[in-house]
Amino acid sequence: MDAMADAKLSIGPLLFNWDDDKRRDFYFRIADEAPVDTVFLGEVICTRRGSGENYLADVIERLERGGKKVIISSLALVMDDKDMKKVENCVSMAPDYMVEANDLSAVQLLGGAPHAIGPFINVYNEATLRFFEKEGAKRISLNHELSSRKIRAIAAVATAELEVQVFGRLPLAISARCYHARVHNLGKTGCQYVCNQDPDGLTVDTLDSDPFLVINGLQTMSYSYCNLVNELEDMAQMGIKHFRLSPHDVDMVLVSQFFRDHLDGKIEADMATEALEDEVPGAEFSNGFYHGEAGMSWIEV
């Protein structure tokens, strides 16, 4: 249980298009109330969304005052000069803040400086892990498709600190096309920012009207919410030190508290899951990838 108590929680970058006021207030509350150690900031999905320049300095100051470490996340897909400029601006913050590279262009620009590797860069085996460690990676967020067996193998040889996403919809793919704009019969360059109408993404149903996936601008995500609260102890024993909570339009302070309480031994995993079910009503939870099954599956532990 000591490994669990020593584990740290992080709030991943916000993947959805919330307006500036909502974003700022969200991070202010995380800074003041959430029992997390690290907060990732930055636009990962689309440069057309708000840059956050009018609130970023205030948010960073508030987070640091609240004892949180700030990491700046880069774009996950670079397609043109505008995107590249966004990545360059992100990397320019490296002397003062650790940067999370979500695209290889950011890794190259960092030039060996200490940095984090995000889950949008594939690290599926020990050889790839060693490559990025040699390039300066000090923290690596592992891909969500990895099973516990593969996570264990990577953790056994890692010198960088490892992180696993344990809550929230999983990023499955990202594309040059904007699905959200297409649904509204709009083009990508004239999207009217329609993705802001869906603060947790837009559900896609099968032909049988069963919810299947979620679209979020350029991104395809899982419909179900990853929930690895039952698996925290197993991962902590492997040496995983960081657990990522992906932000959603729910009370993320409470969500983080449920995970922290379980890590600290204050509540059992089943109690934490029941509390999460109450906080995210109607959500389907999944942990299939971790157990080597279909990702959308829920495996009883």
pLDDT at 1: 54
Q: Write out pLDDT tens, residues 239-275.
A: 999 999 999 999 999 999 999 999 999 999 999 999 9
184 domain-assigned: no
Helix crossing, 126-134 with 148-155: angle to 10°? 40
User: Token match 């909570």: residue?
Assistant: 245
188 domain-assigned: no
199 domain-assigned: no
181 domain-assigned: no
Q: Write out pLDDT tens, residues 115-128.
A: 999 999 999 999 99
- pLDDT over 90 (residue 2): no
Q: What percent of the chain clears pLDDT 90, i.e. is strictly above it?
A: 86
Domain membership of residue 32 as a residue range = 2-169+224-286
Mean pLDDT of the chain: 94
pTM comes to: 0.95
CATH number at residue 165: 3.20.20.70
Q: For the chain, how many structural domains are there in total? A: 1
204 domain-assigned: no
**Per-residue confidence band for 9, with pLDDT thresholds at 50, 70 and 90:** very high
